[in-house]
């Protein structure tokens, strides 16, 4: 191979490597996961990722330099969003690859669930069928902003922080399915624990907005505050 051709290949793979470098930090992957739910301010992202605002901003700048996210000034705040839907599909594919190739992913998850005495999520095709058919009450326990940006059709917005106040209004004769940001989001685990202690038949669903979108299924958006 000529040196000219090799230089071309080296230059191309160097650009590909920019993406790998940008997502090489665990916290940056967590930030992408949150941004898959919808645009958020730096302050909100720092809170969700347990980072200082300064550290969150630094991580976001790296993602922005790799053209994975975009930023927009809104009043006194800077709001970040994914550059496009392809970034979320990339994150979903990366997560799926890790789940398929790294046994440690399952081990870490099982260890966490055992330690807190939580139940495994229910992933049966029958559960998904019932959710899509509207045969169960589906709760979206993410923050309201994420629900508005996109949610599973028919889901009720009941943020985890408000669940105890709204629990009396939930139907006890119907099964309840709670979801949040995906298989490694703990908000739905906590929601199911609260519901079961109150006598509800509640289940946790791992599939969330990112998974719904990856399957090509329809999502709903809402600009109004749910009742």
Distance CA 190, CA 202 (A): 11
Q: Is 180 a catalytic residue?
A: yes
CA-nearest of 211, 166, 172 to 191 is: 166
Distance CA 145, CA 35 (A): 11
Enumerate residues 6+ apart whose C-beta is below 8 A from 119.
113, 192, 204
The count of other CB atoms within 10 Å of the CB of residue 148 is 18
Distance CA 31, CA 61 (A): 12
Phi, then psi, of 204 in degrees rounded to 5 = -100, 135
The count of other CB atoms within 10 Å of the CB of residue 30 is 18
Q: What is the C-alpha radius of gyration for the chain, rounded to an integer number of angstroms?
A: 20
- The catalytically annotated residue of 36, 88, 180, 185 is 180
Enumerate residues 6+ apart whose C-beta is below 8 A from 89.
213, 214
Please list the active-site residues.
Answer: 180
């Amino acid at each position: 191979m000529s040196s000219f051709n090799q230089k071309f290949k080296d230059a191309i793979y160097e650009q590909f490597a920019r993406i790998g470098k940008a997502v090489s930090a665990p916290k940056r992957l967590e930030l992408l996961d949150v941004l898959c739910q919808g645009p958020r301010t730096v302050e909100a992202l720092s809170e969700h990722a347990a980072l200082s605002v300064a550290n969150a901003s630094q991580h976001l700048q790296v993602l922005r330099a790799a053209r994975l996210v975009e930023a927009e000034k809104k009043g006194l705040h800077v709001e970040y969003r994914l550059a496009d839907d392809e970034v979320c599909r990339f994150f979903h594919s990366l997560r799926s690859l890790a789940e398929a190739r790294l046994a440690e992913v399952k081990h870490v998850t099982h260890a966490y669930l055992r330690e807190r005495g939580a139940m495994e999520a229910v992933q049966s095709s029958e559960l998904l069928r019932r959710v899509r058919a509207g045969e169960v009450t589906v709760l979206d326990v993410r923050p309201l902003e994420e629900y508005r940006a996109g949610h599973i059709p028919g889901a009720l917005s009941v943020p985890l922080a408000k669940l105890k106040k709204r629990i009396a209004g939930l139907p006890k004769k119907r099964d309840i399915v709670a979801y949040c940001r995906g298989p490694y989001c703990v908000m739905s685990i906590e929601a199911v624990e609260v519901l079961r202690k109150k006598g509800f038949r509640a289940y946790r669903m791992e599939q969330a907005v990112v998974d719904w979108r990856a399957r090509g299924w329809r999502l709903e958006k809402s600009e109004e505050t749910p009742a």
